[in-house]
Amino acid sequence: MRTVFLGELLVRLSAQGRQLLATTPALDVHVGGAEANVAVGMAMLGCETSMVSAVPDNDFGRRAIAHLAAAGVDATGVLTTPGRMGLYILTPGAGVRASDIVYDRAASSFALLGPGTFDWDVLLAGAGRLHLSGITPALGPNSAALALEAATAAERRDVPISFDGNYRARLWEAWDSNPRAILSELVGKADILFGNHQDIGLLLGKPIAGDGEARRRAAADAAFAAFPKLKLMASTARRVIDADANAIAARLDSRDGVVQTEDVLIAGIVDRIGGGDAFAAGVMAALGKGLPVAEAAEWGLALTALKHSLPGDASLFREADITAFRAGARDVRR
């Protein structure tokens, strides 16, 4: 089953050695983008994935395409168009200091696109799923229309849609937007939603009452009632101890049940950026391979936990790494 991804490819610049951006003498460079991260993570697990995007004709754009190709993602749907490469700048956290992100993606090649750019008959031919996230519509009215066009095209062709909320307040606030209305229309076309009680509260215009697991189930029930096509809601529960240690559990809610894993303590975090994308990749890869929901939750947990040990935005782990993690293998493998 081939999964098609629509979204912006980004270059991440991050301060080296957990220094402050204002004083670091050098920057690390990684290719990212929420949808691309999921595509790469799934491709590394042996899934067929293809990316739909646009990059400029420069070394940044070529680096992004090479990043996809190296993981086995089909990049024939990535156009070379006018504009610039979208950037984001990360100041990594340390201890009690949280990480901070600054976006620099206005007028990027992808952000300048709009509906009518892509031939969805070609791009969705033979596809088993379309994956979108809330980041694309947050970029501006043209990007929002493009995301809706893609979702409508998939719906018309009976291609299932998965959607990751990925709410980015700084992007939505940069233009005269209506995130609740736009996101609700997109989520209404999806059968899988990656999100939590905060996402559902935004979509429904009211907070979800309660706490802990009860609130998570209340959010899922509210989502299922509001969006008839929705079959599965996937989320992680993260307890932040500090920037170097988090405890994470995975949860998958269906209309008639729930699966929640035990917490995993992740200490000595190398890079938590992309952890949610790794979770989505693990869940979708497992479901695509026909594994039961309980296994999908474990795959998602394993991949997000492993991603915290790896610099960069995307998970580069294989199925053998998931198997070793789940078996408790923490010592050197010889």
SS3 content of the chain, % helix, strand, coil (to 5): 35, 25, 35
Could you say which of 164, 253, 277, 321 is catalytic? 277
State how far Cα 12 lies from the chain centre: 15
Let me know if 237 is exposed, middle or buried by CB neighbors in 10 A (0-12, 13-18, 19+).
middle
Relative to beta strand 257-260, strand 245-254 is antiparallel
- Name the token pair of 15: 């301060």
104 is a catalytic site residue = no
d(CA 47, CA 91): 32
Which residues form the catalytic set? 277
